[in-house]
Structure 1
């Protein structure tokens, strides 16, 4: 991989269906919920990236984040920790698609990492 592009965005919502409806109405996005309850967003544009809208787990506050494409998720997590970030989760397989993880930067912002299979 050349560089590390932003490859996906995600909105974690306290009421996922409300957020899916809100963003669909506001921006004209198409949101298709998969078998795991994850709302896959198609923006309808060939510019920019797609994303997802999901229900936050119990006790987890809502978030908005981006996922950065990396060659090695674990190595990137370890480097984030060396630089003052904190591991939130992962690495975790994403079916046949790849592998993901999340960390928080020194200000507490959640950032995702993604390696395509």
Structure 2
């Protein structure tokens, strides 16, 4: 993937991405989509740890989400 430019619709992630802990990734991704963001890596389970997802905000800035394992 490459960073968006005039020549391509593809994107490349920068060397670092901000990540945030959330209580519910599914609810957060729904709000992201409603606000004009784009999910680029759907919720992915991390065994014995929780889950992770990645999206572009409306300005094409990548943001990661982390949800701790319940229980």
TM-score bracket for this pair, using the shorter chain length: 0.7 to 0.9
- 1:104 corresponds to: 56
Select the structure of larger CA radius of gyration.
1
| Cα 1:76–1:62 shift into 2, 3 Å | closer
Q: Does 2:12 align with 1:61?
A: yes
4+ residue segments displaced more than 6 Å: none
What are the residue-to-residue correspondences of 1:33-112 with 2, within 5 Å?
61-63=12-14, 64-112=16-64
Alpha-carbon distance between aligned partners in 2 of 1:60 and 1:97, rounded to the nearest angstrom: 28
Alpha-carbon distance between aligned partners in 1 of 2:11 and 2:55, rounded to the nearest angstrom: 14
| Structure 2 unmatched runs, 5+ | 1-9
What are the residue-to-residue correspondences of 1:1-40 with 2, within 5 Å?
none
Cα distance, 1:75 vs structure 2: 0.7
CA RMSD of superposed structures (Å): 1.6
Greater share of helix: 1
- 1:49 corresponds to: none
- TM-score where L is the length of structure 1: 0.47
- TM-score where L is the length of structure 2: 0.75
Q: In structure 1, the residue corresponding to 2:17 is in which secondary structure?
A: strand
Alpha-carbon distance between aligned partners in 2 of 1:61 and 1:79, rounded to the nearest angstrom: 23
- Number of equivalenced pairs: 59
Greater share of strand: 1
